[in-house]
Structure 1
Amino acid sequence: MQTEKVVDYIVNWLKDYATNAGVNGFVIGISGGIDSAVTSTLCARTGLHVLCIEMPIHQAESHVTRAQEHIEQLKASFSNVSDARTDLTPVFEEFKTEVFSDADQATVDMALANTRARLRMTTLYYYAGLYKLLVAGTGNKVEDFGVGFYTKYGDGGVDLSPIADLLKSEVYQLGEFLKVSESIMNAAPSDGLFGDTRSDEDQIGASYPELEWAMKMDDQGKTADDFSGREQTVFKIYKRFNNSNKHKMIPIPICEIPKNFI
């Protein structure tokens, strides 16, 4: 990958899109992970206003520390970057008192994890409305179009997606070029939706390099029967997530009324 050309292309794309939309810049949630670090740095390079928002909900301390470190580094390098912190823990706890939960605990935990992401989306759009900004998404190609590893109308609720055509490995290449901090570059990818340090690999059952391989094999028309051992296991994991999360990756189904009914 021609990293510098890719960086310049994304930055120009962001700037052109914001200018044509008549907005002042971008707002982005900073998680302490590589995707939000790279995306926020790309946005900062446009010279437009970039508002970085911390939105902890019972967050693991390591995630908070990395997020704060990145924001401070970004502000030191770019005068167009500002930040805010919205502690959503009290909002989340109050929400839990107002809903009922008669499902099993694992189902409840997953529903609440997705609720965290949706509370953050609501917060980002609040600030976007205040300051006439676009919500910049942080999803990469594997998450957005491979396994669908994001929350519908949560971190999937954005105005534009600067890195969604890049594999996770390519995002890391951009991170190295953009001099993202070592603590973020070396951290295990995590969605941070459970208030602990569990990684994406812990949840999915496969690493991003493995998922990139499976995505490539799927694009080539391979099936699970073409593999054995760990490769077959990974391919089946990829296909299971890909199939179950199709509803996130395709347009919302519309019930089209027959013309002769109208």
Structure 2
Amino acid sequence: MDYGNLKSRIRMSILYFQANVHGGLVIGTTNLSEFLTGYFTKFGDGACDLEPIINLTKSEVWNMAEIMGVPESIIRKPPSAGLWEGQRDEDELGLSYREIDNAVSEFRKNGRFPDTPAGEKIRELYNRSDHKRRLPLALED
């Protein structure tokens, strides 16, 4: 995990360097399923200037990719942050994106995750990763 976080932060440093050199912005790739489960590295792949798909579940991103004509081989490739050989998102999360997206849909509707084993796991991930979705703490006068 430590190596994976370091790799993610180094990638982000390179992206920001390139954005600065070329006068551009860093565009994020975090989707709602990853955001709510905390499946991103703080100040790594979670750092960007614009998050265009953060309100879409992983399933909605796949659907959008199909509509846009993205090759099937890319859409069906098992999701991976590419942090080490053989790394797969669903293995790390312990849930499929179908399970996560179903729970996230419930969260969108009712403001809470379902009372199911998957919902409980996602609630735990959500609570444990709360710090990733907040600005750094600051001392007050």
Structure 1-normalised TM-score? 0.51
Hey, what does 2:34 align to over in structure 1?
A: 143
Q: Which has the higher contact order (CA 8 A, sep 6+)?
A: 2
- Partner Cα separation in structure 2 for residue 152 and residue 251 of structure 1: 10
Structure 1 position 198 matched with structure 2 position 50: no
By percentage of residues, which structure has more strand?
Answer: 1
- Partner Cα separation in structure 1 for residue 44 and residue 137 of structure 2: 19
- The CA deviation string for residues 189-225 of structure 1, in whole angstroms up to 9 with x for no partner, is 111112x12311100011112112222334525577x
Q: Name stretches of at least 5 consecutive residues in structure 2 with no aligned partner.
A: none
Structure 1 position 248 matched with structure 2 position 132: yes
Cα offset, 1:255, TM superposition: 2.2
Hey, what does 2:10 align to over in structure 1?
A: 119
Name the CA shift for 1:129/1:210 in 2 (closer, same or farther; >3 Å).
same
Structure 1 position 157 matched with structure 2 position 47: yes
Secondary structure at the residue paired with 1:134? Answer: coil
Q: Name stretches of at least 5 consecutive residues in structure 1 with no aligned partner.
A: 1-109, 227-231, 258-262
8 Å CA contact 2:113–2:123 kept in 1: the answer is no
Cα offset, 1:151, TM superposition: 0.4
Hey, what does 1:25 align to over in structure 2?
A: none
- Partner Cα separation in structure 2 for residue 222 and residue 143 of structure 1: 16
Matched length: 140
Cα offset, 1:157, TM superposition: 1.1
Name the CA shift for 1:209/1:223 in 2 (closer, same or farther; >3 Å).
closer
Note the aligned Cα RMSD (angstroms).
1.6
* Structure having the higher Rg: 1
- Partner Cα separation in structure 1 for residue 113 and residue 30 of structure 2: 26
Q: Match for 2:135: what amino acid?
A: P
Structure 2-normalised TM-score? 0.91
